[in-house]
Amino acid sequence: MRPPWWRNACIYAIDVATFCDTNGDGWGDLAGVRSRLDYVAGLGANCVWLLPFYRTPYRDNGYDVSDYLSVDPRFGDLADFAELMAEADDLGIRVLVDLVVQHTSDRHPWFRQAVEDARSPYRDFYIWADTPDDTSVSPIFPGEEDSVWTLDERSGQYYRHVFYHHEPDLDHSNPKVRREIERVMEFWLRLGVAGFRVDAVPYMVEQAENGGDGSTDHYINDLSRLVRRHRSDGVLLAETDLAPKEYASYFGGPDGDGFHMQFNFYLNQYIFLSLARQSREPILRALDELPEVPIDTQYVNWLRNHDELDLGRLTDAERAEVNRAFAPDRSMLLYGRGPRRRLAPLLDGDERRVQLAYSVLMSLPGAPMVRYGDEIGMGDDMSLPDRLSVRAPMQWSPERNAGFSGAAADRLVRPVISDGPFGFERVNVLRQQTETGSLLDRVSGMVRTRRGLRQIGNGRRRALDLGRDSVLAFLYSDPGGGEQILMINNLADEEAVVSLPDGLLRGGGVDLFADAAYEKPAPGRASIRLNPYGYRWLRPLI
Ligand code: BGC
């Protein structure tokens, strides 16, 4: 039987607010996303993850939701969403939306009622304490919140919030909360979404367990079953930043009874340690530590997302090493976890290295995800506070406001990046669409080629020791015994000539994708060459 689509998917992450504004109010909107779906299809992605577009006070980039069942007027309305879904469907693109139910906004009617009347049925939707003495969780945003407890003056009780004080935590051990969450999921599934990216999962699950009404599995299984009841190809993609062994308990088995996909936060940190050290060892170490995915589930890998680069699972010395390499200024670091930088500036704008990073991403076991703007090498805006630095509007063209919006510049949701090497006049989609060899050209080539390599999503992987620490190489084989694929990456800024295992290229080989036109490996050839930061995706011939 054909493996499920997500085993070899390429996901494109879109922040609706900063992607494309069609009505000139300075905010990106759903109609804007729809108008650019051809671009996404052209890139080769077959799945889009839309960051939150629900009604929101917008104090946490939309992760503070005040109504799960409506579209915030700044982003459009449900009719726009339905049109977007229809067009995505026509283009064969599946749409995942965010399920942000670890907490609500403090403007959500549930919380309003809970604080206005301590006897309201919504009071128990949240977590209360007479004294804030439970310190088992600490604030996620140190420096912005001192505690996870805030006093509700009216009742004299404290409510818990692991994120911001304006994001009270829902009590997932309360069956009524779960029922409401199911309604939210059913609503969006009926509108055609292929599933959800589930926010802040471990906190939710822990709270569900705290209630003592069942195990982790139990809660996850319920959510997963609900998705499957609506569509057999539906998925849950979990935001799970965990110690390696813990990933196993969040995945489902062949019956699809857990999360179908999980973001591999663990591997993400080691990718950057490998890039910083120019050594394959950290990536291989992380892969060894991580549990293999059960059948019909998958890890999702990426380079950068919309938050700071979280290096929290590296040792202090390793984290310092990555920060030294990629964030020379202290102001570039956030929450003691890592750089608040986009991919291209983090790699010093060195396009060879950015391409190499993408090649590494595509070589890793899992489904790759690309965040909007990183495919053209967008920069960051360090003049903006905390994580806003990495959330500038998409740079479509050299025209006004980077082609993002027709509004006056002071009405934009966030300023466009206009100066320096990453300014929109230099870095934009239009320009790169017309330049062979541009980053956009290379990344879309990689995404399209990678999607055709089902061995990586579904096959068996073997890490090859090619005798140089800077050369990361994997051999993937089709489980059916078909073609093999060799993914080789040179993490170092110097040329590498490496020996291949005996017989691997006995019939010769072809480069499916590479940083340059290399000499074709002749039959029997035992060694091959890579440029500094070079990469070669080779198909051995028989
Ligand atoms: C999101 C953050 C958000 C937080 C609270 C995270 O998982 O990625 O951007 O601030 O959840 O919802």
pLDDT value for 482: 77
pLDDT value for 151: 97
Gap between the Cα atoms of 423 and 440, Å rounded: 16
pLDDT band at 211 (very low <50, low <70, confident <90, very high): low
Region 293-307: what's the mean pLDDT? 95
- Tell me: pLDDT of 217 over 70: no
Cα–ligand 1 centroid distance for 164 (angstroms):
10
Using H for helix, E for strand and C for coil, what is the string for 212-259?
CCCCHHHHHHHHHHHHHHHCCCCEEEECCCCCHHHHHHHECCCCCCCE
Cα–ligand 1 centroid distance for 182 (angstroms):
21
- Tell me: pLDDT of 444 over 90: yes
Q: Is the CB of 162 under 6 A from ligand 1?
A: no
Cα–ligand 1 centroid distance for 199 (angstroms):
7
Cβ atoms of 169 and 207 closer than 8 Å = yes
pLDDT tens profile 409-443? 999 999 999 999 999 999 999 999 999 999 999 99
Q: Is the CB of 307 under 6 A from ligand 1?
A: yes
Pocket test for ligand 1, best of 63, 66, 161 (most atoms within 8 A of CB): 63
Pocket test for ligand 1, best of 101, 169, 199 (most atoms within 8 A of CB): 199
**b/e burial code for range 118-155 (CB count within 10 A of at least 16 → b):** eeeebbebbbbeeeeeeeeeebbeeeebeebbbebeeb
Region 125-142: what's the mean pLDDT? 91
Q: For residue 355, which of 478, 490, 262, 233 has the smallest C-alpha distance? A: 490
Least confident of 30-34, 248-252, 535-539: 248-252
Q: For residue 505, which of 533, 536, 479, 478 has the smallest C-alpha distance? A: 536
CB-based contacts of 198, cutoff 8 Å, min separation 6: 99, 101, 204, 223, 236, 237, 238, 239, 259
Cα–ligand 1 centroid distance for 260 (angstroms):
20
- Tell me: pLDDT of 453 over 90: yes
pLDDT band at 215 (very low <50, low <70, confident <90, very high): low
pLDDT tens profile 306-329? 999 999 999 999 999 999 999 989
Q: Is the CB of 473 under 6 A from ligand 1?
A: no
Task: Report, as residue numbers or ranges, the catalytic residues.
Answer: 199, 239
Region 257-282: what's the mean pLDDT? 97
pLDDT band at 218 (very low <50, low <70, confident <90, very high): confident
Q: Whose CA is nearest to atom 3 of ligand 1?
A: 63
Helices 316-326 and 265-277 cross at an angle (nearest 10°) of 60
Chain-centroid distance, C-alpha 409:
29
Gap between the Cα atoms of 8 and 454, Å rounded: 6
Helices 351-363 and 439-451 cross at an angle (nearest 10°) of 10
Least confident of 45-49, 83-87, 482-486: 482-486
Tokens standing for residue 190: 């009926």
pLDDT value for 22: 98
Region 134-153: what's the mean pLDDT? 91
